[in-house]
Each structure stands twice: as C-alpha cells, then as structure tokens.
C-alpha cells in the first residue's frame, strides 16, 4: 500500500495545492486540539457528500471506504481548533446552501440536486481561494473535498480497487506505456 506521504502528495497535486492537516497526518496526528463532536448523522452526511464527490461506479465509492469516519478522525486529531470550527460550521453552511438551492436539506436532496450543489460549492471555494490571502483559512468545501480524496485513496478500497495495486512491486520501468483511461498505480 502507498505510504502516507506519497498519498498526500498525490492528493495535493490533484487539489492543486497543499492538504490541510497534512503535517499532523504524517506524524500520526494528535495535535493539541480539543476535538469536536461528530454525531452518527454528521458522519452519514459526510459519507453522502463524499459519495457525491466519488460515487460508486465500476469501483466502490467513497461511502464504502468509510470516508465520513475518516473525516471525523482527521478533523479531531489533525486539525487545529480554528480549522475544526470552520469545518463544523461548513456542515451547517452546506445544508443552508442546499435549502437555498433545492428547498431541502442535503440529505433530502436527490443525487442530481446534490451533484449540482457540490459543483456550485466547488466553484465558490475556488473563487474564494483565488482571492484569499495566504493567512486566510481554507474554504470549508475545500476541506471536505481534500478529506474525501485523501480518505478514499488512502483506504484499502481506494488503493486496491480504484488504483492498480501490486503488493510486492517488481522492477522499476520508467518507460512503461500509459494507456489513456487506465488506473493510476498505488505503491507500497
């Protein structure tokens, strides 16, 4: 399985920047934070957000990888208190945005409504980050998206079913052909 540092660098490349809480994640987490309370409903909501970002297709989706539970651990163990607050307020903002756009909560919305909402939030987050100063906090949806990608591609499901995986790597072949549409490789 790929190591934490490599997984985080891949997610950072996908996201076009750095991953919040990455240093704490690499060192085993447990920063000096107070932690926040994640209810079963909150974890279920985060699983559905993650599944909307990475739905099940030929491979399992983010919900099967238990990304909501991963987010709980990361936010509690790796985020600083200020970032925990932004993330938790973001859950409320996501539901408020859903009510504004769809006249119902995220969980009450259908798959198309959820998708359209997250596309709009992703655009909002990208616009926010473009205008943000380096000291400004990340947008809550950027946090959710990063945690979804990190949680999924570092899970057993993501590393072995979404990526090509070889438990014991063979020799290095720097000129191995790449065929468009093939899965990327996960490494040990």
The mean pLDDT of the chain is 81
Residue with tokens 């985080």: 8
Q: Is residue 86 included in any domain, yes or no? A: yes
33 DSSP 8-state letter = -
Under 8 Å between Cβ of 97 and 120: yes
Count up the domains in the chain and report the number: 1
Q: Is residue 83 included in any domain, yes or no? A: yes
- Its pTM stands at 0.71
Q: Is residue 169 included in any domain, yes or no? A: no
Q: Is residue 187 included in any domain, yes or no? A: no
Q: Is residue 70 included in any domain, yes or no? A: yes
DSSP class per residue in 59-106: S--TTTTTHHHHHHHHHHHHS-HHHHHHHHHHHHHHHHHHHHHHSS-T
Q: Is residue 131 included in any domain, yes or no? A: yes
Q: Is residue 100 included in any domain, yes or no? A: yes
Q: Is residue 134 included in any domain, yes or no? A: yes
Q: What is the CA radius of gyration of the chain?
A: 17
pLDDT value of residue 181: 79
Range of the domain at 73: 4-164
pLDDT in tens, the chain (188 residues): 444 445 555 555 555 555 555 554 444 555 444 668 899 999 999 999 999 999 988 888 899 999 999 999 999 999 999 999 999 999 999 999 999 999 999 999 999 999 999 999 999 999 999 999 989 999 999 999 999 999 988 887 766 666 555 565 566 667 767 778 776 666 55
């Amino acid at each position: 399985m790929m190591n934490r540092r490599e997984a985080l660098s891949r997610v950072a490349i996908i996201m076009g920047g750095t991953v919040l809480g990455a240093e704490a994640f690499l060192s085993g987490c447990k920063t000096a934070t107070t932690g926040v309370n994640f209810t079963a409903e909150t974890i279920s909501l985060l699983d559905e957000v993650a599944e909307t970002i990475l739905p099940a297709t030929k491979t399992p989706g983010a919900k099967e990888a238990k990304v909501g539970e991963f987010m709980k651990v990361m936010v509690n163990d790796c985020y600083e208190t200020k970032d925990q607050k932004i993330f938790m307020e973001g859950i409320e903002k996501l539901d408020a945005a859903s009510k504004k756009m769809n006249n119902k909560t995220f969980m009450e919305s259908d798959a198309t409504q959820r998708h359209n909402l997250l596309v709009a939030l992703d655009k909002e987050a990208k616009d926010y980050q473009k205008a943000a100063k380096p000291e400004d906090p990340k947008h809550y949806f950027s946090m959710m998206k990063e945690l979804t990608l990190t949680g999924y591609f570092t899970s057993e499901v993501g590393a072995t079913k979404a990526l090509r995986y070889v438990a014991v790597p063979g020799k290095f072949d720097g000129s191995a052909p790449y065929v468009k549409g093939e899965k990327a490789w996960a490494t040990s």
